[in-house]
Amino acid sequence: MTDKKTLRDIALVRWSVLVLISGLMLGMYWFYDFFSSIKPLMVDDLKMFTNTQYGQIISATTWANMFGVIILGGMFLDRFGIRKAVVVFGALVALGAIVTALGASNYLTTNDATKVTLMTIGRIIFGSGVEICCVVVSKTVVKWFKKHKLATAMAINVDFGRVGSAMAIGFSVDIAAGEPFRAAGFAAGLVVAGFVLFLFYLLLDMKLDKQVQESTEAGEDEKFKLRDLLDLVKNRSFLFIALLCVAFYSAVFPFMQYAPDLLVNKFGFTTELPDLTGVGFGGTVKAWLTNGSKVASLIPWGSIIFTPLFGYFIDKKGKAASVMILGSVLLIFAHLSLSVFDNVYLGYAGLFSLGIAFSLVPAAMWPSVARIVPERQLGTAYAAMFTIQNWGLGLFFWGIGLVLDLVNKDKLEAIGKGEAVYDYTIPILMLVGLGVVSIFLAFALKYYDKKQGFGLENPKK
């Protein structure tokens, strides 16, 4: 039987699919990060909760995943396929977003303690589905692009998530306009919309599977077996890239949840964008560059620009492990600039460096997994990485808030009256340590990749 042309061999269809499935990424990442923009409003202005309680709500996203929900979901994905997985876990994501939004409102209760509980429950439900949905999207990208510029496609997919993060951090405080529910409701609406878009994609997924079964590709991929999980554990290159994933992302995602507040407290940035009516271009730029939420959003905005470029570079030149080493170095510089030093211009440089690192490492990491792991194991492989990543995220989401309260214990009352500021030095220095660990793991990955012959330093053939 001769090979038949399928939908994924048509460039327009292939790239249209990428846009369609990436809508879910945009919505989920927006919801993941929107709280960071309204933290000062909820903690300092409305006194809804403390820094520790804020860390609890944010870290709740990781709790279910710490105890194997992602692993089970990845195995479910590899066993039953994309369609069933996205229906089950996409529904959890949408439900969790809705519960969180209702918790932030006055519709169910006006008691702040009860609101904290509801928002925590909502984030737990959201977290039970979000990482699996990310795995589903990643495996879908591999399914359509494994022979067509995979690193570039994955980088663009990541960019949709970064757009969601950037806009959530930059604009949620404006959407809230003093009322947290507005920002939460908008974020939840985007999650639901992204889920609906992915359901539309499933029609194309069914068509492609039918074409593949009729071509010589039929029988190409074996079904996942439980023993494949043991194969992952024995694969040292996979272990090092998984550990690098947890160290690197634990130094980035938790920081982003606190970045607007850090800029306000450390460098004196504002929490509200001033009225720009009648203000010229120069005044508008100055107003944005002195607003905590707007400047913090530069981290994902920078990655939006550079991630596809780095993905294209890795497709053409390889050097994936080396790129991860460079990203880890930039991570250390960024957090040193934002913790030890008090120079605002060095702070801007640190944020820019973090944005570059946030582009380099994901652009190299995620397509590298597809080279290290057979496709039948990809769902479980990505799920295993997300599982240990969530242990790191949960620890630092909550830990930064806890340490922030501890090191500022003697002046919390003065901070509440606007007479003092939070000292973020020690909480951010913890993230410098993660950068050091990331460099070690990236070098170890490069070493074992050379021994095992996966060719991460070589262009994709």
The pair phi, psi for residue 347, each rounded to 5°, is: -65, -45
Residue 20 resides in a domain: yes
The answer to whether the CB of 351 falls within 8 A of the CB of 338 is yes
The one-character DSSP state at 270 is B
Work out the average pLDDT over 181-204.
94
The answer to whether the CB of 260 falls within 8 A of the CB of 298 is no
Dihedral sign for Cα atoms in the order 79, 81, 84, 86: positive
CATH for 444: 1.20.1250.20
Residue 82 resides in a domain: yes
> In 3D, which of 28, 106, 440 has the Cα closest to residue 248?
440
Give me the pLDDT at residue 217, please.
Answer: 47
Strand partners, 270: 291
Residue 243 resides in a domain: yes
Work out the average pLDDT over 136-158.
86
The token pair at 106 is 């006055």
Give me the pLDDT at residue 2, please.
Answer: 47
SS3 387: helix
Range of the domain at 136: 16-208+221-452
SS3 166: helix
CA distance 231 to 225: 10
Number of residues in the chain: 461
Q: What is the pLDDT of residues 409-458, one digit of tens each?
A: 887 777 666 666 888 999 999 999 999 999 999 999 999 888 888 888 88
pLDDT surpassing 70 at residue 138: yes
Q: Comparing 146-150, 203-207, 273-277, which segment has the lowest mean pLDDT?
A: 273-277
Residue 8 resides in a domain: no
The answer to whether the CB of 82 falls within 8 A of the CB of 109 is no
Residue 5 resides in a domain: no
Confidence of residue 228 (pLDDT cuts 50, 70, 90): low
Q: What is the pLDDT of residues 379-416, one digit of tens each?
A: 778 878 888 888 888 889 888 888 988 988 887 777 66
Residue 193 resides in a domain: yes
Residue 194 resides in a domain: yes
Measure CA of the first residue to CA of the last residue in the chain; give whole Å. 25
Number of domains the chain contains: 1
SS3 374: coil
Residue 115 resides in a domain: yes
SS3 291: strand
Query: What is the share, in percent, of the chain residues with pLDDT greater than 70?
Result: 90
CA distance 304 to 340: 28
Any idea which residue has 């949408």 for tokens?
Answer: 94
> In 3D, which of 431, 408, 406 has the Cα closest to residue 337?
431
The answer to whether the CB of 436 falls within 8 A of the CB of 332 is yes
Report which of residues 87 and 269 the model is more confident about.
Answer: 87
CA distance 14 to 7: 7
- Mean pLDDT (the chain, rounded): 84
